[in-house]
Amino acid sequence: MRYLIMLKGAQPATPPPPELMEAIMTLGAEASAAGALLDTAGLLPSAAGARVRLSGGRLTVTDGPFAEAKETISYALYEVRSKDEAVEWASRFLGLHRDLWNGWEGDAEVLEVMA
Amino acid sequence: MAVTAADPSRVLTAVWRIESARIIAGLARLVRDVGVAEELAQDALVVALEQWPVTGVPDQPGAWLMATAKHRAVDVLRRQSRYRQKLEEVGRAQPQVDDTDLAAEADDYVGDDVLRLIFTTCHPVLSTESRVALTLRLLGGLTTDEIARAYLVPEATVGQRITRAKRTLADKKVPIELPPPAEAAERLASVLEVIYLIFNEGYSATAGEDWVRPALCVDALRLGRTLATLAPREPEVHGLVALMELQASRIPARTGPDGAPILLQDQDRRRWDRLLIRRGLAALDRAGNTFGPYVLQASIAACHAKAATADATDWTRIAALYDVLAHVSPSPVVELNRAVAVANAHGAVRGLAIVDAVELPDYPLVPAVRGELLSRLGRDAEARAEFERAAALTRNARQRSLFEARAAALDG
């Protein structure tokens, strides 16, 4: 089973602490060594992106930033035996944010990839 | 602080899957016995099942399990040490166990522990099926029941294999260590063989109703990826990982909507998993310019992965790679595959000559390949008889239907 984990949160005023980035790298290495993490990357703020919309039969392209309060910050693709295992990896990831970035809040959405 | 929303037993199952190999491997170094190590780890699991629903899931569940198991290990060792002290009063002196050292030792980086454990569970002193069962259980974190379901055998059978394996390791005093240089190549080959056997049981199930059991492929892939992290300088480890990633990339295309197998040349290649192909090719790169059996097989799989259509397959290169493989690692199965490659590159007559020399009694793919090549030569009656023989030989229901369909189509 594969799960896509999308990290979402408010765009912070300051960059993430280096200790957090270091801890995330370590967690990523652990998850890769466990054979569970297939792919992961951080995403630039939506200001650098665009949205293509289909509405009323018309395509429109709008440059970022998007109006949403929350930005999609990163993604990770896991191959695991159960949803619980994917949730555990997501919990560890958010746990690092809790421990190393005071006040930061956000969500990790755990979505199953269609087989 | 406790996570209240999470169901402790579900968290525990997930954490166990992720951490059990490292916990058991770390304990095995302390107590020098995989059976005792697993018991201690299981004890910690039971303690967690009792405590977590009351106290909540600890912040660092993996570390909690490790610490709990480690305490128990130290108790066991202290008891053994007291026992030794009693012996000492009677006669010979034994070194005393220092708890602080033990605790510090147990905290060491556990990567090498996991590697030592893999070499132990794949030790040639064990039967092949015991190696597979013990590896899936101790390294893969599977329960006995899960292994039994994956292999379609009774749970008791798997339980016996595992018990027997642990006893054999203890009786024969197999040390939990990396193999000495003189044995390294042979022992690594055994580890790779066990992982690939697990993969293959998932990839082309030898028995049962399903043609593929992808969960077993994923278990093997995870073991392989772990091994590649722990032994990054072994080209054949990367070769095996590359081979498995590339073969697994075809799983979505290998089965029709009704569960029937679809052969490589008929697969919808748009359904191949591009991510696994990318990972497989990257692993093959890491293997470098080497010619071990897994690297060669992965190179062959890479030829298929790179061909946009079946017709675009570079059969000349594949046949050449099989020639090398037949030299490096001769086996009847390699000869059979070489026959197919040579037939595709240089004509069915030359392929048939190779098949006719293959000695693999009762292996259904021999008559199946012969049937295919005979039908290409227009020798339909002979081809039909071969497909009928293949259908009679296979124990896999899906494969049987495939061969029966080929035979029926030749009835004309």
**How distant, in Å, are the alpha carbons of B18, B89, B342, B354, B381 from that of B339?**
42, 71, 5, 5, 21
Domain boundary among B88, B121, B142: B88
In a domain, B249, yes or no: no
pLDDT tens figures, B51-60: 999 998 888 8
pLDDT tens figures, B111-125: 689 999 999 999 999
Q: Measured between alpha carbons, how far is B260 from B158 in angstroms, rounded to an integer?
A: 29
Is B128 in the same domain as B195?
A: yes
- A79 to B111: CB separation less than 8 angstroms, yes or no: no
Those residues with Cβ within 8 angstroms of residue B193's Cβ, 6 or more apart along the chain or in another chain: B122, B128
Is B127 in the same domain as B67?
A: no
Helix (H, G, I), strand (E, B) or coil at A39: strand
**How distant, in Å, are the alpha carbons of B11, B37, B70, B75 from that of B102?**
29, 15, 9, 11
DSSP tag of A58: E
Is B148 in the same domain as B198?
A: yes
Q: Is B277 exposed, middle or buried (0-12, 13-18, 19+ CB in 10 A)?
A: buried
**How distant, in Å, are the alpha carbons of B53, B187, B219, B245 from that of B241?**
39, 17, 12, 6
Closest approach of B226 to chain A, Cα-based (Å): 5
Candidates A37, A84, A92, A114: best to mutate against B (most CBs of B within 10 A) is: A84
pLDDT tens figures, A55-109: 999 999 999 898 888 999 999 999 998 999 999 999 999 999 999 999 999 999 9
Q: Measured between alpha carbons, how far is B121 from B166 in angstroms, rounded to an integer?
A: 9
Candidates A81, A94, A98: best to mutate against B (most CBs of B within 10 A) is: A81
Those residues with Cβ within 8 angstroms of residue B109's Cβ, 6 or more apart along the chain or in another chain: none
Question: All domains of chain A, ordered by start, with CATH?
Answer: 2-112 (3.30.70.1060)
Q: Which residue of A has its CA nearest to B215?
A: A81
- B18 to A34: CB separation less than 8 angstroms, yes or no: yes
Candidates A88, A96, A114: best to mutate against B (most CBs of B within 10 A) is: A88
- B18 to A85: CB separation less than 8 angstroms, yes or no: yes
pLDDT tens figures, B340-383: 999 999 999 999 999 999 988 889 999 999 999 999 999 999 99
Those residues with Cβ within 8 angstroms of residue B323's Cβ, 6 or more apart along the chain or in another chain: B338
Is B111 in the A-facing interface, judged by CB distances under 8 Å? yes
* A&B contacts, CB < 8 Å: 54
CA A63 to mean position of chain CA atoms: 21
- Give the CATH number of the domain where residue B47 resides: 1.10.1740
Is B47 in the same domain as B83?
A: yes
Q: What is the pLDDT of residue B103?
A: 47
Q: Which residue bears the tokens 């018991």?
A: B39
- B226 to A35: CB separation less than 8 angstroms, yes or no: yes
ipTM: 0.91
Q: Is the distance from CB of B303 to CB of B341 less than 8 angstroms?
A: no
Measured between its terminal Cα atoms, the distance across chain A in Å is 7
Domain extent, residue B30, equals 8-88
Is B84 in the same domain as B115?
A: no
- A115 to B252: CB separation less than 8 angstroms, yes or no: yes
Give pTM, 2 decimals: 0.88
Helix (H, G, I), strand (E, B) or coil at A111: strand
Closest approach of B390 to chain A, Cα-based (Å): 31
Q: What is the pLDDT of residue B90?
A: 62
In a domain, B54, yes or no: yes
Calculate the average pLDDT of chain A.
94
Q: Is the distance from CB of B231 to CB of B287 less than 8 angstroms?
A: no
Q: What is the pLDDT of residue B92?
A: 53
Q: Which amino acid is at A33?
A: A
- pLDDT string in tens for chain B (412-residue length): 444 557 888 899 999 989 999 999 999 999 999 999 999 999 999 999 999 999 988 888 888 999 999 998 888 888 877 766 766 666 554 444 444 444 444 444 456 899 999 999 999 999 999 999 999 999 998 889 989 988 888 999 999 999 999 999 999 999 999 999 999 999 999 999 999 999 998 887 666 666 677 889 999 999 999 999 999 999 999 999 999 999 999 999 998 888 788 889 999 999 999 999 999 999 999 999 999 999 999 999 999 999 999 999 999 999 999 999 999 999 999 999 999 999 999 999 999 999 999 988 889 999 999 999 999 999 999 999 999 999 999 988 888 999 999 999 986 5
Helix (H, G, I), strand (E, B) or coil at B154: coil
In a domain, B273, yes or no: no
- A88 to B225: CB separation less than 8 angstroms, yes or no: no
CA dihedral B273, B276, B280, B282 (to 10 degrees): 120
DSSP tag of B255: B
